[in-house]
Amino acid sequence: MPIERLRARRPHLFVARDEAPIAFAESVAGAIRLAALNGEAAAAGLSVGLTLADARVRVPEVEIFPHDPAADADWLERLAEGARRYSPAVALDPPQGLILDSAGVDHLFGGERGLAEDIETRMARRGITVRLAYGDTPEAARALARHAGAPAPDEMGAIRRLPIAALELDEDAGAALIAAGLKSVGDVLARPMATIAARFGREAATALRRLTGEEDSPLTPRAVAAPIGVERRFAEPVAKTEHMLGVLEDLAGEAARALEARHEGGRRWGARLFRSDGEVQALRVETGQPTRDPAVLMRLFRERIEALADPLDPGFGYDLIRLDVGLAEKLDAVQLRLEGGEGRAQQGAEAVAALIDRLGTRLGRERVRRIHPRDSHMPEQAELLLPATDPAPKAEWTRPEPGEPPLRPIHLFDPPQPIESLAAETPDGPPARFRWRRKMHDVARAEGPERIAGEWWRRADMAPPTRDYYRVEDVRGRRFWIFRHGLYSETERPRWYVHGLFA
């Protein structure tokens, strides 16, 4: 598989060298050894685990590339995304396998044989060789695909003819089975299960049961199926982004009707664009309020496409477009309201919600925020910034008393900014003048201290120093919120900080 990845990603390496032996090398325990090879390399007598030096001696013309398991895993994930065109339940079987749950979907492709053919041709188009096998359990399919045995009339027969290696036991258990004279899975199955478990370990028995379908093993799909999903397949791939958007709008309309029947609206929408060459592009949008208005959705999708770092590339065209509603919430039919009054307020609120969605889609959800109260003494933690689409937590702001000047700044520095130098009349009092951002400020008015103790209960190991806050105003009217970090009894030379600015 690494070779196929490389061939797809960097085709220039392979021009006119189709038949060259290729191997991938990685460093294992201090020695550089081969980790993967192509057929030509294997035919030339190389094998996985050989040191690089040996390999070069045996087959001087071999091409060596660094082994990159992370890139392979990434490639496998891309293939898995592409395989979602066949079934929503796709599981990864690293390092090289994909498991599809095709129950109930293969009739869409003309039965099991048709599905297999479609997968083979599509993968071959990308230069990928596949070994396909059907099985009643994921393990059986996997074992059949990996360890092709002798032909057999039915699945059970095929499983019986698999070699011991297909059980994928650890080396000791496998060797013990072979040493006991058992050559195929069938040989093992012929013995009483209890004997197998007693002599070769519980794992051997479990592996057997899973292979034969006596024990269920769960398939872990990569993504759960969305509650509502609509899709459209094309005989001719759609190559224009504009056409694609038109189809998407139709699908949004279809999804809207499905949602309407359920009295719901979607909040998370995902469009998947399956390219005919197997690539998949995903677009996701979220709304603050449940919606099923195709026009709103299309605006968000367009916004999303515009905000993509790499522009959308249809390549040879999309042959399958799917729209999933990832999260649906209650939304009853819009009631017609009379002009003005509440109706207008409602319209206004809807317009604002739509604007928030658009800005969130373009800039990122976490950049469009609301400020919520939070119960904390530490000023920098007394507020919570949440995406504007998130529901508000239940908490109340402390309202100021009438006639009281603002006791908290409108601009807060986080982290607080150090004061460069400072002169105070009394050690415990507010400063008389201080230098901040290279400017000297002569204090004309001051109030304080407001003592804020560190939240010692949050950090058991050491209590942070107490802060003494002062509101000060300099002679030119600039108002600062400054604090001394630590009492004189706590620290030798407490530092001063500007924590915020008042209007």
User: 40 phi and psi, to 5 degrees?
Assistant: -60, -40
What does each C-alpha distance from 469 to 165, 220, 409, 447, 486 come to in angstroms?
Answer: 72, 55, 12, 9, 11
Considering only residues 153, 476, 489, 493, which one is a binding residue for other proteins as defined by CB under 8 A?
Answer: 476
Angle, helices 171-179/202-212, rounded to nearest 10 degrees: 80
β 467-474/479-485 pair status? antiparallel
278 binds other proteins (CB under 8 A): no
439 binds other proteins (CB under 8 A): yes
392 binds other proteins (CB under 8 A): yes
437 binds other proteins (CB under 8 A): yes
365 binds other proteins (CB under 8 A): no
372 binds other proteins (CB under 8 A): yes
What does each C-alpha distance from 426 to 212, 447, 488 come to in angstroms?
Answer: 86, 14, 12
Considering only residues 126, 369, 433, 495, which one is a binding residue for other proteins as defined by CB under 8 A?
Answer: 369
28 binds other proteins (CB under 8 A): no
446 binds other proteins (CB under 8 A): yes
Distance in angstroms (rounded) separating the CA atoms of residues 98 and 82: 11
Considering only residues 117, 168, 329, 473, which one is a binding residue for other proteins as defined by CB under 8 A?
Answer: 473
Handedness of CA 293, 299, 304, 305 (dihedral sign): positive
Q: Give least dist CB 484 to other proteins, A.
A: 14
Site string for other proteins, 328-357 (x = CB under 8 A): -------------------xxxxxx-xxx-
First to last CA, the chain: 63
Q: Give least dist CB 492 to other proteins, A.
A: 24
In which residue are the tokens 């592009």 written? 281
Nearest-CA neighbor of 227 among 189, 191, 269, 190? 269
404 binds other proteins (CB under 8 A): yes
Q: Give least dist CB 385 to other proteins, A.
A: 8
413 binds other proteins (CB under 8 A): yes
Give the nearer residue to other proteins in terms of CB position, either 197 or 412: 412
Q: Give least dist CB 428 to other proteins, A.
A: 11
Q: Give least dist CB 297 to other proteins, A.
A: 17
Tokens describing residue 223 = 């993504």
Stretch that binds other proteins, among 91-99, 179-187, 294-302, 398-406 (CB under 8 A): 398-406
Considering only residues 334, 403, 426, 493, which one is a binding residue for other proteins as defined by CB under 8 A?
Answer: 403
Q: Give least dist CB 421 to other proteins, A.
A: 17
299 binds other proteins (CB under 8 A): no
* Residue 503 and residue 479 in contact, taking contact as beta carbons nearer than 8 Å: yes
Distance in angstroms (rounded) separating the CA atoms of residues 298 and 193: 59
Angle, helices 138-146/202-212, rounded to nearest 10 degrees: 90
475 binds other proteins (CB under 8 A): yes
385 binds other proteins (CB under 8 A): yes
400 binds other proteins (CB under 8 A): yes
| 494 residue type, one letter | P
Q: Give least dist CB 260 to other proteins, A.
A: 24
**278-285 CB contacts, 8 Å cutoff, 24+ apart:** 278/79, 278/82, 278/122, 278/123, 278/125, 278/126, 279/78, 279/82, 279/315, 280/78, 280/81, 280/82, 280/84, 281/312, 282/81, 284/326, 285/357, 285/361
27 membership: H or E segment, kind and range: strand 22-28
Contacts (CB under 8 A) with other proteins, residues 238-257: none
Stretch that binds other proteins, among 101-109, 184-192, 268-276, 445-453 (CB under 8 A): 445-453
410 binds other proteins (CB under 8 A): yes
β 439-452/431-436 pair status? antiparallel
Residues that bind other proteins (CB under 8 A): 347-352, 354-356, 358-359, 362-363, 367-373, 379, 382-383, 385, 388, 392, 397-400, 402-414, 437, 439, 444-450, 471-473, 475-479, 500-503
